[in-house]
Amino acid sequence: MSVTTRRMQDLTVHDHTLTVPLVWGDPADTRTIDIHAAVVSRDGGESLPLLVFLQGGPGHEAPRPFHSPVGPSWLDAALEHYRVVMLDQRGTGLSTPVGDADLERGTDALVEYLTHLRADAIVRDCEAVREHLGAATWSVLGQSFGGFTTLAYLTTDAASLEHVFITGGLSAVGRHPDDVYALTYDKMRDASERYYRRFPGHRDAMRRVIDLAVDGELILPTGEVASVSRVRSLGFLLGSNDGWQTLWGLLERDPSSNAFRHDFAAAMGYDVRNPLYYVLHESSYADGHATGWSAERTEPADFVDDLTLLTGEHVRREWLETVPGLRRWRDVALALADHEWPMLYDAGAIAASGARGAAAVYVHDVYVPLEFSLETARLLPGVTPWITSEHEHNGLRAGSVLPHLIDLAHGRRVR
């Protein structure tokens, strides 16, 4: 264990590093990893209660503790009420990060290792950090996958949570991944058509880009020969408040230009900075199932016929051949797709958790469908749902979402 302290403007940041078991609950397995948590407080707020932030992903570290606009836009609002614990989830950031060097373990060993980086293990890490900080309880803010992890927290350790705040993260409980991905295609169909109605000329612009990909002529600065499925995955931009602006800027450019190719590469999701985001992505919906490339399997016929219909967080097996940085992860990703993941949630335990708080549910969320979010919300009568079309999936970044949820959780009147 180590603790260091630093000052950043009017913020004090205590960096805590704990060594924890890789495999919780198995004393015979002596492997360990490090978990890093930065505890952030504002001057005068050193005695406030704790709020742990669980980042979206999976496979992304917590944001760095700076004031906006460099740091997260919601941090200042959170610091009015809490000391904020920025937890790097296991395998990310400063918490024994997973990267290309881990491929030297060999496929079987690495696959086994990665199966221990799930939400249930992240919850055990959270409990270790909470106990280390001497807090009887704390509150949690879960964004997207962080909300999924919060549901796992409510399954096993609800007594540790004072309030829960969930943004775009009320996952389906007890559902097969195919149920979720089939519905996300419906969301992406609607999002695609809304975009083309707004910018009618861009459907033809997208066809021109797709034609280049079909002919193998869309070569990115990274050396990637972009496939049609990679072009269509630009639809993930429609899942954020301002992502459409990036898509608009791309489709206004000549696709043979340097500017287009560089901007396209920069806009791509599933880069190899965080390989866990790709190799573990579908597992985040695996509540007792193997995923088996669910997004591929559930693609509707009209998406096959109309290549201008854009896709979102739908991972593709072919990227293991076409994306240079992902090729080396091929065997690992294929093996993980066949892994039988254990149950993650217990609907009865969640319903009995007595959880209090508030959750932002986005009407047009293309990643975490409204219908399943509302289904899960019914398990949490003490968590007030705020159902809104004002924001997309990344609404937390707007800065106004968290204050609204805090007011709801404490029964304060809101506009």
346-388 pLDDT, tens digit each:
999 999 999 999 999 999 999 999 999 999 999 999 999 999 9
Name the pairing type of β-strands 138-143 and 357-362.
unpaired
Mean pLDDT, rounded, for 33-49: 96
Q: Given this model, what pLDDT does residue 86 score?
A: 97
- Nearest CA among 233, 312, 240, 273 for reference residue 60: 273
pLDDT digits (tens, 9 = 90+) for 64-123: 888 777 789 899 999 999 999 999 999 999 999 999 999 999 999 999 999 999 999 999
Domains in the chain (CATH in brackets) are 2-173+345-409 (3.40.50.1820), 177-337 (no CATH)
Mean pLDDT of 266-287: 92
- Number of Cβ within 10 Å of residue 217's Cβ equals 12
Instruction: Find the mean pLDDT for residues 25-42.
Output: 97
Residue 51's closest CA among 21, 9, 81? 81
Bridge partner residues of 357 (DSSP): 164, 383
- Mean pLDDT, to the nearest integer, of 268-286? 92
Averaged pLDDT score across all residues of the chain: 95
Residue 288 backbone zone (phi > 0: left; psi -120 to 50: alpha; other: beta): left
Mean pLDDT value of segment 48-69: 92
Confidence label for 415 from pLDDT (cuts 50, 70 and 90):
low
Task: Provide the percentage of residues in the chain whose pLDDT is more than 90.
Answer: 92
Residue 272: the pLDDT is 84
Q: What is the pLDDT of residues 177-226, one digit of tens each?
A: 999 999 999 999 999 999 999 999 999 999 999 999 999 999 999 999 99
Host H or E run for residue 164: strand 161-167
Per-residue pLDDT, averaged over 257-275, amounts to: 92
Nearest CA to 141 out of 402, 397, 408, 407 is that of 402
pTM of the prediction? 0.95
What per-residue confidence (pLDDT) applies to 413? 64
- How are beta strands 83-88 and 50-54 bridged, if at all? parallel
pLDDT in tens, 218-234: 999 999 999 999 999 99
Q: Looking at residue 65, what is its pLDDT?
A: 85
pLDDT band for 338, please (50, 70, 90 cuts).
very high
62: left (phi over 0), alpha (psi -120 to 50) or beta: beta
Cβ 97 vs Cβ 113: under 8 Å: no
Residues 6 or more apart whose Cβ sits within 8 Å of residue 396: 72, 73, 74, 143, 167, 168, 360, 402
pLDDT tens for each residue of 13-33: 999 999 999 999 999 999 999
Report percent pLDDT > 70 for the chain: 99
Query: Are the CB atoms for 392 and 362 separated by under 8 Å?
Result: yes
CB within 8 Å of 411: residues ≥ 6 apart: none
